[in-house]
Structure 1
Amino acid sequence: MLKRASSTVAALTFAVFLTGCASQPGDPGAESRQVSPAAGEPAETSSRAQGVGSTNDNLRTLSGSRIAVRIGDKAFTIQLYNNPTAKDLVSQLPLTLTADDYPGYDEKVVRVQNPLSMEGAPDGDEPAIPEVGYYEPGQWIALYYGPIGYWPGKVPLGRIDASVEELRAIPDGASVTIEVVKN
């Protein structure tokens, strides 16, 4: 009887441990993790398992295309990556939109009116800094100036020729014009 009670207590303790490993509401990586039934530890999905700096490298090859982001008297050049999402952005230019702060994160967001292609897109991405990406669930282009971690639905678009300080200084509500740079 004592052995059976000990086994029950051990099983309940393990179940409580697994519950503690579950994702919490608002956990940005929750959708990218799965719990391994054998070990009870989070197991990263293939798009995340590559690690920081190598996540989605196949989508970060420069295409030779450039776009400009104009905010007031400042202009920043973005060297676009060779992926379908970046190509779709070019097909929708020029655009004049609004930049907003994304509270709690080091990024400026610019909502687009029409969604960009997700053809060949990864499950998610961890942006390089500074970099420009697309966040499909929010339908916005993001200008990253600090680490935000991995998020499902993110796709890298290009390298921005701007400092972290310049991106951080973009005012909330600023008018942004995005256009193709002619070679």
Structure 2
Amino acid sequence: MRKQLYLVSLLGMYLSLSACSSEGPTSKTDKGYEGSRQQVQLKEKHMLDTRVKLTFDNYTVFVKMYDHPMSRDLLAQLPLTLTFKDYVAKEKISVLKKRLSSDHSQSKNQPKKGDFAYYSPWGNIAIFYKGHEVVTNDLVILGQIESGKENFENLHGDFTLTMEKTH
């Protein structure tokens, strides 16, 4: 009986806390961090001191990385050379040989021009050269292109890109 009373009180607390959120139940986005969409966006804005240098077709682009477990996982895999292709006339994508550890992160991101992201269902890196009107739970923004995002717009066909860490 005491156990049942305890479980009922825990359920009541959970329901009352869930009701306070304007967006319904929250999702895990970072080691023990839980929060609404607004809180997730604020958390992802924290930047690492590390940049990723993207080199392709005589262009160099720098990406400032967000402080996120998946960003750190990608950094641990660098340097990488990948082949990218165009996808839906808004992004360039390439499947990683080794998937990033997702810890079932969900972020409800709406990608915008210059986002450097990871799409967990396919295990691919995405570089957005145009905004995207679709919000997805499976896209995690890993970083933001600081300069040269316009270089991706005029690339046609597949291209090879080298990624390496810089400071």
Q: TM-score, normalised on structure 1?
A: 0.66
8 Å contact from structure 1 (residues 68, 78) kept in 2: yes
CA distance in 2, matches of 1:95, 1:108: 16
1:151 to 111, 116, 136: 136
| Residue aligning to 2:71 | 86
Structure index of larger Rg: 1
CA distance in 1, matches of 2:104, 2:68: 8
* More displaced stretch, 88-97 vs 115-124: 115-124
How many correspondences in the alignment? 137
CA distance in 2, matches of 1:163, 1:78: 9
| Residue aligning to 1:39 | none
Residues 1:114 and 2:98 aligned together: yes
Change (3 A) 1:45 1:69: farther
Deviation of the 1:161 alpha carbon = 2.2
| Residue aligning to 1:161 | 146
CA distance in 2, matches of 1:111, 1:131: 16
Structure 1 runs, 4 residues or longer, greater than 6 Å off: none
| Residue aligning to 1:131 | 115
8 Å contact from structure 2 (residues 116, 128) kept in 1: yes
8 Å contact from structure 2 (residues 52, 165) kept in 1: yes
8 Å contact from structure 1 (residues 56, 122) kept in 2: no
1:170 to 150, 155, 162: 155
Q: TM-score, normalised on structure 2?
A: 0.72
Structure 2 residues not aligned, in runs of 5+:
1-22, 28-35
CA distance in 1, matches of 2:25, 2:154: 35
Q: Secondary structure at the match of 2:147?
A: coil
1:79-98 per-residue CA deviation (whole Å, 9 max, x = no partner) reads: 00000000000000111010
8 Å contact from structure 1 (residues 84, 120) kept in 2: no
Deviation of the 1:119 alpha carbon = 3.0
Percent identity, aligned pairs only, is 24
What is the RMSD computed on CA atoms of the aligned residues?
Answer: 2.4
CA distance in 2, matches of 1:112, 1:72: 20
